[in-house]
Amino acid sequence: MNQLGSRVLTTQRLILRPFRATDAEQAFSGWMSDPAVTKYLTWERHESIFLTRQLLAAWEQEAKLLTTYHWAIVWRETGVVIGDISVPTADMRSQWAEVAYCLSRAFWGRGIMTEALSAVIDFLIGKVGFLRIEAKHATENVASGRVMEKCGMQLEGVLRKGHRLLSTGELVDIAIRAILREEWEARKAQQ
């Protein structure tokens, strides 16, 4: 395994880079305060930019560590920060990582998160050396599941009533999807 940290990744339309404290206003207005974006997430929407500023200042410091994998998703055309993709959990011994993401509602439905997730999977498997990348989504969040499917992540199972929505208190089912290194290699060989 090569601990490389949150290196800058570029795609056709995006730049994935470490967060900066100065991204707080765009993050707050773009997705962190939006109840539609945060509905299925493991954290509550931000009601004050003060919280967003504190969080991004901490993320900026964490980005200095080679064990941190957390990117701001930047729309190349404008330089605006439009989302977030990270590895909240990883097991270096077993060589797997979990990815999580969110995107400003104004950018939904354009294949942007598929583009970002694909780049992160390529980096985590191809450069860092993980053998397995997994992600979870509420089964009713069909769009998130489709993003994972488009990136080659296969459904492995469902955790029934596996997550309580912070927004409503409702218990929802959680799907687990993953892609293994050999599956990723086979997809790359076909492209």
CATH of the domain at 91: 3.40.630.30
What integer pLDDT is reported at residue 144 of this predicted model?
A: 97
Q: Is residue 108 part of a domain?
A: yes
Confidence (pLDDT) at 166: 81
pLDDT at 40: 79
Residue 2 within a domain:
no
User: So what's the pLDDT on residue 165?
Assistant: 86
Angle 78-137-120 from CA coordinates, rounded to 5°:
45
- Domain assignment present for residue 185? The answer is yes
**pLDDT digit string, tens, across residues 127-177:** 999 999 999 999 999 999 999 999 999 999 999 999 988 888 899 999 999
**Residue-range definition of the domain harbouring residue 13:** 9-190
Quote the number of domains for the chain: 1
List of the chain residues with pLDDT < 50? none
145 within domain boundaries: yes
What's the pLDDT at 12? 98
3 in a domain, yes or no?
A: no
Q: Is residue 101 part of a domain?
A: yes
Identify the DSSP state of 46. Answer: P
